[in-house]
Structure 1
Amino acid sequence: MATSQWTAAARAADGHLLPALRLHAISERLWVMLWLGVGLILRLLSFGRFPLREDEALYAYWARLISSGLDPMLERAAVDKPPLYIYLLAHTFTWLGPDEAVGRGLNVACSVLALALLWLLARRLYGPDTARWALALYALSPFGISFAATLYTDPMMVMWLLLALLAAAHGRGLFAGLGLGLAFAVKQNALLFTPLILALLLLAPPSRRPRLASLPPRLTAALVRLLAAAAGFYYVWFKVWQWDGWRILPAEIPSFWQQAWNSYGGLELLPLAEWPAALSAWAGVWRWFGGSAAGTLAL
């Protein structure tokens, strides 16, 4: 008798709980759709507000050289970026026409995808409540909005990095490595995220079926993930350098990697006497970390 009463009570509780869970899931989906729409609209509204800057025009010119067939391997251009973004932009020009708005639309699409990936990443790491706020804040981010409708490489690099981080948070080493590799194939700065991606891979819970039975599950998972990530990253890395090796360059044009060093002016350790001036210059940049001076102070 007691058992039947407990069963009836459990069924009654389930009857009240399931509608609440469904309502919560629907509200979460509506929240995500709302902020994805807001993010898309704000990014589309920035179309044409600013003309192309020097770097943007240069990337568009390189892409036009490829799409027109004049220089498909960029052998007469001093390219200082890896090839992925430039070639995707070139293919977009080929499919939709060599128009400034077409190039901006490619990065807007990357920025909106980055919104969705950030929500998934935050949900995986911190739960649905934090994920909602992360999505809303990034949708309203002045930096995110202003960079979206440009021809810079950053929106696409951020999209691939978020994909790599999401894969790492799920313990998917191969996809994490591929994502990091694709981000590097857009812009070399993506390599700075390597420690964060590796940390997420190592902290992700181990698989239920460890592949090396003689080792502890966590150690097994770490080894498998790191090897898979290295394989995924190396594949893209190899393809980038293969492209650069196939280019028949004149003597005055170096590889894209060397040209990047030339463009940035190289890296060196400043003498201590010059540190105060350098820190003062960096302070002028970091004051905009929060989108404005007030936002930076709030953060």
Structure 2
Amino acid sequence: MLRLVKQWLLFLFFLGFFLRLRGLFANTFHADEALFTSWARWVRSGHDVFLLTQQVDKPPLLVYLQTAVFLLFPPTAMWAARLPNWVASLLLPPLVGRKVWGWFGEAETAVFATTFLTLAPLAIQFSPTAFTDPLLVFFLWLALPGMGRGLTRTNADKSAKSLTWYGFFFGCAL
């Protein structure tokens, strides 16, 4: 049973990959995507690494991840600007499945949650974008489920380290 569940989750990962792949190369930029990408190009050029001359009202993590991608791929490619969110959206369904499995202890529930997120039209449509939302959702899923556990006798030894990581991921989301 456990082997079948793991195979199903692996199948869902690859299904999500193929469902989201077309969108990476499909559409032109929305005005906000173009603005966020221009900030990343500005950082990459070295003119204003901390974006002090720009009116940035969004979390800077996406801009810096796009800048890192632009160091590897040409900054003129639209898909390169969308790559960080696309990767985060590929990792989100397995992460949700793992968290749900840990919460409820049932593999079937984890498969259901992973299937639902893998096939959700909104998740598919927004995964290959240069908006800040997919990255925010990914880091919130990394952070929030663990932050509510609190200290118990069984997890007191590793709790400080875990809470530090949960706080770090929560900070990355914001």
TM range (shorter): 0.7 to 0.9
Alignment of 1:1-299 (within 5 A): 24-98=1-75, 99-126=77-104, 127-168=106-147, 172-184=162-174
Partner Cα separation in structure 1 for residue 112 and residue 149 of structure 2: 21
TM-score under structure 1 length normalisation: 0.51
- Give yes or no for contact 1:67–1:94 (8 Å, CA) kept in 2: yes
Partner Cα separation in structure 2 for residue 154 and residue 176 of structure 1: 19
Cα RMSD (Å) of the superposition?
A: 1.5
Partner Cα separation in structure 1 for residue 172 and residue 39 of structure 2: 19
Deviation track 1:79-129 (CA, whole Å, cap 9, x = no partner) reads 111221111111111122212111222211000111111011111112211
- Give yes or no for contact 2:100–2:109 (8 Å, CA) kept in 1: yes
Relative distance call for 1:36 and 1:152 in structure 2 (3 A) is same
Partner Cα separation in structure 1 for residue 122 and residue 11 of structure 2: 20
- Give yes or no for contact 1:40–1:108 (8 Å, CA) kept in 2: no
Letter in structure 2 aligned against 1:50: N
Equivalent position SS for 1:70: coil
Partner Cα separation in structure 2 for residue 170 and residue 113 of structure 1: 23
Any unmatched runs of 5+ in structure 1? Answer: 1-23, 185-299
Structure 1 residue 170 displacement after superposition: 6.1
Report percent identity of matched pairs: 32
Q: Which has the higher contact order (CA 8 A, sep 6+)?
A: 2
TM-score under structure 2 length normalisation: 0.86
Partner Cα separation in structure 1 for residue 149 and residue 20 of structure 2: 29
Letter in structure 2 aligned against 1:41: F
**Alignment length, in residue pairs?**
161
Equivalent position SS for 1:174: helix
Letter in structure 2 aligned against 1:104: R
